[in-house]
Amino acid sequence: MTDPIAVRNQVLERIGDRADAQVVATIGPSELTRFANSFIHQNVGEIRSSVVLTVISDGRVAELVGSSTSDAGLARLVEQGLELVRISPIDSDWPGLASPAPLGEMPGRDETEPTPQYRADAVKAFLGAGPDLNGAGFCSTERLESAFGNTKGQMADGVATRTVFDGILRTDTSSGSAHHCSSDVRSLDADALGRLAYERAILGADPITIETGTYEVVLGHDAMAEVVMEIGLYGFGGRSVVDQESFVDPGANQFDRAITIVDDALALGGVNYAFDVEGTPKERVVLVDAGVSGEPCHSRRTGLRMGVRSNGYAPAGDLGEWYGGGPMDIILAPGTKTVDELIGEVERGIYVATFNYCRCLEPLTVEVTGLTRNGTFLIENGEIVRGLTNMRFTQSFVEALAPGNVLGLSNDPRFGHADAGPAYVRAPAARLARFNFTGNADG
Amino acid sequence: MFEISDEGVAAALASGASYADARVVIRREQAVSGRNGAIEGLRESESAGVGVRALVGSSWGFFATEDLTAVGARMAGRQAAAIALASSTVPGQALELAAVPAVVDTYETPHMEDPFEVSLTEKADLAIDLTAAMMSGADVTKAVATFMFWDTEKWFVSSQGSRIHQHIVESGGGMSAVAVKGGESQVRSYPQSYGQFETGGYEVVRDLAFAEHTGQLADEAAALLRADQCPAGEVDLILDGSQLSLQIHESVGHAIELDRILGWEAAFAGTSFLPLEQLGSFRYGSSLMNITADATIPGALGTYGYDDEGTPAQNVTIVDQGVWKGVLSGRDSAAIAGVEPGGMVRGDGYARMPMVRMTNVGLLPGDSSFDEIVADTKDGIYMATNRSWSIDDQRLNFQFGTEIGWEIKNGKLGRMLRNPTYTGITPTFWGSLDRLAGPDEWVHWGTPNCGKGQPMQTGHTGHSASPGRFRNVRVGVTG
């Protein structure tokens, strides 16, 4: 069976009146073409298929996940679910099923599934922008259709489409990267991405190592996406709030007034669904409004524990146990300047294209350590003067965006490549007054 | 299920592949988690399908489907070949897979107690009881316990004649107590952060005796809130076995992956600082550093019979008395690098293309003991249980944080230290290893959450280690 709506309906019919239940069926092609040393070395495809069934009976709750969508497979899943819930312990925190509610409308887009040759041609175009450099990265395309239903009558379905390109070009001493993510396959311009990566790689060749310490920085779109992602997960996730591990104080002026962050699945154009895995329509949530902290993102379970309703942010699978509700479609509002103008205002500082291997040391301050990667540059007198070797930072991301520390945001937000977390993030570049670098190539 | 794999291989060959293999994989997973004295989640999953890998020229294609019928397998085979054909429009160097013998065999994880036959009630009660006990501690704001079990069956067929059935059973779990006060959180975990996992049955959980450790975790999490901050400076550093196992994972295990060394992971996970031309002569660490990649250790998490290319599991010397001697490899990477294939290629379920993965990459024990090492340390810090980890894309510059530390003065453990961190450069750090505890304290630590590849794959790896001492390490790094 390839229609998730039919799968959902069949599961609910098989459950009948034997128990309460909710089901999420997701089916669709997912393909990824990977290249390294300027050739395609891995190229994979699958028909993704998952059915997540939650069965509730007499206060007991059990969740089953299956990959089979055949009649026999669905019948087995349902019977296993009914058997499992019978021997499950009482779940005293079960928040109940979502009630029927309408979904927001996703924008239309080209949902054509590209061919393997389309992705190979995109790789060729990227590599063609820097034929003398060593290229690596991937091009992926997905069209996943998901259907939710529960025995309380809530039904929801939708399509997520994603075209992602992530590539680097390397000289012997440097590398430059470019990233693209869109719900519309027609927006991919692999040649332009290649030219950007090439420019960064050449600019960074023969890097020098500078002293560690506190520097003014311009963080590129990808680096800022990381900052916003970590703040979203650790601060605005319902689980963090329930566990008293969130720094967020709703109504307090915790960020610079330049910072406005919202979570809005509809505004991101269809890379994600308009509902969460509990069937709750995703609301537009203002996380930060001109520096003032707003409310967190909740699932039904974390919302119940905090005495509020879910705003549609129950994450899938084991992410629910880790984050228990968290931002999924994050947008940092842009500023008014170009990236060149931000750089032009820096007397001496560092430009960082992307971060790598970021890990949170303290959730209550979102102190994070990680490294710069694929484009670290010294700025002097308003210009990038040369490349730098990668540097390690140890920095509270809350303090990085604190009042007075944000000196400007760029006017060209785009999807960024964040290293940590499952959310999609659209962010501008940013100029920050102080950022702590605690290590360099020497240690 | 072999006949399904046969169909996939035959279809790929008929569509132009020069080589093909197929794996039918059926995997059951069960997760039981408790939080603060209540059940938090109870999830069972089963994935079943077939993945076909096809080689056209020097280019791979891979396709997977959950349709476990002959029709589905043939479709996957044709699609794999078509994808390989598209790959060949941006080709690499000529490739002839390293030769391995055709094998017809079966393998099963030795285990005593099928974890899926143990009642859910028993597992849930354990999670509830453990977290309730930890919550009774002063200042403890959160207590979690999670147990996970995997039962994986694979039917592998290659166009070169291999037919291998494997049944892998894995079990384990962990628990943590968190205390929050004054804008700071502290955590203590047992047996290590994210738990301990092994190949084996439910006896793995029973042997870990979780209930004996709840009081210690609660007490230490609370005590850490009042402990002194780890000072900054250079000291002699003693790591417990579990932290040392992660140090091995990050600064040795990933660095010796041949696909990384060859640049195949450059854009995502990164490359490696190790120069292939110096394999056999590069000084990785001190003479106490003896590393093996041994996929045959009974009970260790990275143990199996054959990898997902049909190559037998084996024990490979990686570092011998501080000198780099070996790599983790598969049939394609080994052929390109001119080394023997190590049988270290595995895929995460049926829908992921197999890639080079760690097996049990461990540090062989020394001849000392933890107590002797402490007694021999005049001015140092002992750090235990990982809390954070970060390392650069060449596996050189690392920074780790642990849950807890203790000052060592004149051969004795002293005051407790909170927020311990240390940082270094890989070969310099390993070069400073000068004391290592012996076989009695050597544990096969398991890591069930090793991420690698695109699409992301989660691998299960093992890392044997005993406590060790490193000289003049920079500690106490803060922002």
B115: left (phi over 0), alpha (psi -120 to 50) or beta: alpha
Question: Does B86 share its domain with B197?
Answer: yes
| A84 in contact with chain B, both atoms CB, cutoff 8 A | yes
Whether the CB of A120 is below 8 Å from some CB of chain B: the reply is yes
- Main-chain phi, psi angles of A232, to 5 degrees: -65, -50
Cα angle B475, B469, B261; round to 5: 80
CB-count burial class (<10 Å; 0-12, 13-18, 19+) for A328: buried
Which residue among A38, A46, A371 sits closest to B65, beta carbon to beta carbon?
A46
- Contacts B60 to A, Cβ<8 Å: 41-43
Rounded CA-CA distance B435/B42 in Å is 44
Same-domain pairing of B319 and B386: yes
Classify A4-197 by CATH class. Answer: alpha beta
From B243's Cα to the closest Cα of chain A, the distance in A is 16
Query: Is the same domain home to B283 and B269?
Result: yes
- CB distance from A66 to chain B under 8 Å? yes
Give the range of the structural domain holding residue B288, as residue numbers without chain letter: 229-475
> Which one of B84, B266, B477 has the shortest CB-CB distance to A170?
B266
- Spatial separation of the C-alpha atoms in residues B384 and B468, rounded to whole Å: 11
Chain A residues touching B62 at Cβ < 8 A: 42-45
Q: Please say whether the beta carbons of B259 and B356 come within 8 A.
A: yes
φ/ψ region of B473 (left if φ > 0, alpha if ψ in -120 to 50, else beta) reads: beta
B191 and B248 within one domain: no
Query: Which of A165, A305, A361 is the best mutation test for B, with the most CBs of B within 10 A?
Result: A361
- Contact check, Cβ <8 Å, B141/A244: yes
Q: Residue A42 and residue B355: Cβ atoms within 8 Å? A: yes
Burial class of B110 by CB neighbour count within 10 A (0 to 12, 13 to 18, 19+): exposed
Question: Of the residues B183, B201, B226, which one is the last residue of a structural domain?
Answer: B226
A337 DSSP 8-state letter: B
State pLDDT tens for residues B348-359: 999 999 999 999
Q: Does B193 share its domain with B287?
A: no
What the block records as the tokens of B94 is 């000529």
Q: What is the CB neighbour count within 10 angstroms for residue B254?
A: 23
Element of type H or E holding A225? helix A221-236
Q: Are B435 and B207 in contact (CB under 8 A)?
A: no
Q: What is the pLDDT of residue A318?
A: 55
Q: Of B394, B265, B59, B5, give the one whose Cα is nearest residue A117.
A: B59
State whether B216 and B263 are in the same domain: no
Q: Is B441 found in the same domain as B294?
A: yes
ipTM given for this complex:
0.93
Domain count across chain B: 2
Mark yes or no for CB contact A64/B43 under 8 Å: yes
d(CA B203, CA B172): 9
| A380: number of Cβ within 10 Å | 12
CA distance B390 to A358: 6
**pLDDT per position as a tens digit, B93-106:** 999 999 999 999 99
The answer on B427 and B337 residing in a single domain is yes
Tokens of A120: 């190979």
Q: Give B51's contacts (C-beta < 8 A, 6+ positions apart).
A: A46, B22, B23, B25, B62, B63, B64, B76, B347, B350, B351, B352, B353
Cβ–Cβ below 8 Å for B83 and A44:
yes
Q: Given B171, B194, B226, which residue is the final one in a domain?
A: B226
Q: Are residues B234 and B220 in the same domain?
A: no
Residues A244, B428: C-beta atoms closer than 8 Å: no
- Closest alpha carbon within chain A to B87: A40
Nearest residue in chain A measured CA to CA from B148:
A318
What CATH number does residue B69 fall under?
3.30.2290.10
Same domain, B236 and B222: no
pLDDT tens series, chain A, 443 aa:
789 999 999 999 999 999 999 999 999 999 999 999 999 999 999 999 999 999 999 999 998 999 999 999 999 999 999 998 998 888 888 999 999 999 988 888 877 788 999 999 999 999 999 999 999 999 999 999 999 999 999 999 999 999 999 999 999 999 999 999 999 888 899 999 999 999 999 999 999 999 999 999 999 999 999 999 999 999 999 989 998 999 999 999 999 999 999 999 999 988 999 999 999 999 999 999 999 999 999 999 999 999 999 999 998 765 455 556 789 999 999 999 999 999 999 999 999 999 999 999 999 999 999 999 999 999 999 999 999 999 999 999 999 999 999 999 999 999 998 776 678 999 999 999 999 999 987 77
Listed in order, the ranges of chain A carrying CATH 3.30.2290.10 are: 4-197
pTM of the model: 0.95
Q: How far is CA A279 from CA A150, A154, B132, in A?
A: 8, 7, 31
Clarify whether residues B38 and B14 are in a common domain.
Answer: yes
Q: Are residues B142 and B260 in the same domain?
A: no
- Boundary of a domain, candidates B226, B251, B284: B226
By the 8 A CB rule, do B31 and B115 touch? no
Nearest to A42 among B40, B51, B60 (CB): B60
Report how far residue B186's alpha carbon sits from residue B228's, in angstroms, rounded to the nearest whole number: 13
Nearest 5°: the CA angle B91, B96, B102 is 135
What pLDDT, on a 0 to 100 scale, did the predictor assign at position A321?
53
DSSP secondary structure letters along B20-81: EEEEEEEEEEEEEEEETTEEEEEEEEEEEEEEEEEEETTEEEEEEES--SHHHHHHHHHHHH
B35 contacts B143 by C-beta, under 8 angstroms: yes
The CA distance from A115 to the nearest CA of chain B, in Å, is 9
